[in-house]
Copies of this chain bind each other. A is one copy, B any other.
Amino acid sequence: MNDFVIPYQQLRQFAIDVFLKMDCPKYEANLAADVLLNADLRGIDSHGVARLSGYVRLWEAKRINSRPAISVVHETPSTAVVDGDQGLGLVVAPKAMEIAIEKAEKVGTGWVAVKNSNHFGIAGHHAMMALGHDMIGMAMTNASPLVAPTFSVERLLGTNPICVAIPAGKQPAFVADFATTTAANGKLEILQRKNQEAPEGWIQKKDGSVSTNANELKEGGALVPLGSDREHGSHKGFCLGAWVDIFSAVLSGANYGPWVPPFVSFLAPPADPVGDGIGHFFGAMRVDAFRPVDDFKKHMDTWITRFRSAKTVEGQDRLIIPGDPERESEKERMISGIPLNPKVAQDLKELGVKFNVEF
């Protein structure tokens, strides 16, 4: 599958160069590249450089502003609403998270809703910004509608991910970063490239019946909420996706539900928007706003150690603590390079030719 392996620094420089060609200021081009490459390092390939040409096309379609005036339009001591001015989500999101962290420094917690933004890469990047400040970080975003709520045949929600990042002491941080669907769209894309079927419970047909066709979304089908079906709790997955949508967009004044503009440039945004761009929601909570940092970290270490050492089912040698697989991927890929799917590599090559940037 992965014929190409590119050293991290080389791929990062390429992304920076492309963002500079999109007329991003130097600092923002670097930041956007870091957020994007963080996804590739952490093994979430669907949210990394595989999306670079998508951002370019949105910029060409004048749906991304590469020099946004990101501003706070409303605030209280512990909250803010940020207008992303149609900027790259990769740049708007870290800025909003910084504001959440500043507010937490002052009053214990900070909560920032964002409107008028775009795809922000992986939620994990932004939530994890809190860790170095001995804070808990949270990040969520809505996204283009690909998901049919329980009993619906219409696609009304995005895969709406949530990340919660919690610092520990000697143990690595707890980082839960997940789409609120049974499977993320990136998992489907992998199956599509391999011409493989999807397990039952990931997708439904146009009429709502079960499908295993990884290309079902092209036929009017939909992803389903975490839980797969009503009997297995898909109404709870719907609750999660709806929660993310409302916090990200109804609180901020962005588009929500079926009105969220598509990431792909060949689909036009809805003609009757209910808000501005897509929405995100961020939170930062100072650990010492609740108890001394050392106490907290000692107990987080106990929590993680106890769970990691749980007795496992046959065939599995350990329980996976949220954040483990991504951290292991990051460590390995930083040294051995980023594997690229041939289609992604080809896409990046073409981008290099177009912008006269070395790939």
Using CB atoms and an 8 Å cutoff, list the residues of chain A in contact with chain B. 74, 76-79, 81, 107-109, 111, 113, 149-154, 156, 164, 166, 174, 176, 178-183, 199, 201-202, 207-209, 226-228, 231-233, 235-240, 242-243, 245-246, 250-253, 256-258, 274-275, 285-287, 289-291, 295-296, 299-300, 302-303, 306-307, 310-314, 316, 318-320, 322
Contacts and interface: CB of A to CB of B under 8 A. Distances in A.
Contacts of A108: 76-79, 111
A136 to B, nearest CB: 8
B233 A182 contact: yes
A226 to B, nearest CB: 5
B256 A313 contact: no
21 contacts: A74-B291, A76-B108, A77-B77, A78-B108, A79-B108, A81-B291, A152-B312, A152-B313, A156-B306, A166-B246, A174-B246, A180-B236, A207-B314, A208-B312, A227-B227, A228-B232, A240-B240, A251-B290, A253-B291, A253-B295, A256-B299
Ranked 8 nearest A-B pairs via Cβ: A76-B108, A208-B313, A176-B239, A79-B108, A79-B289, A77-B107, A151-B316, A78-B108
A16 to B, nearest CB: 32
A151 to B, nearest CB: 4
B226 A226 contact: yes
Contact of A319 (B111, B149, B290): B149
A349 to B, nearest CB: 35
A307 B156 contact: yes
Copies in the complex: 2
B242 A199 contact: no
B153 A311 contact: yes
Contact of A227 (B111, B164, B182, B320): B182
Contacts of A201: 231-232
Interface centre among A180, A245, A285, A307 (most CB of B within 10 A): A307
Given A107-B107, A202-B232, 8 more contacts: A77-B78, A78-B107, A78-B289, A174-B242, A201-B232, A207-B313, A251-B296, A257-B303
A145 to B, nearest CB: 11
Contacts of A250: 166, 296, 299-300, 303
B227 A285 contact: no
Contacts of A253: 291, 295
A43 B256 CA distance: 30
Contact of A154 (B246, B257, B311): B311
Contact of A109 (B79, B275, B287, B300): B79
A275 B74 CA distance: 40
Contact of A176 (B242, B299, B313): B242
A223 B52 CA distance: 42
Contacts of A299: 250, 256, 274-275
A232 B182 CA distance: 5
A178 B232 contact: no
A14 B319 CA distance: 46
B285 A111 contact: yes
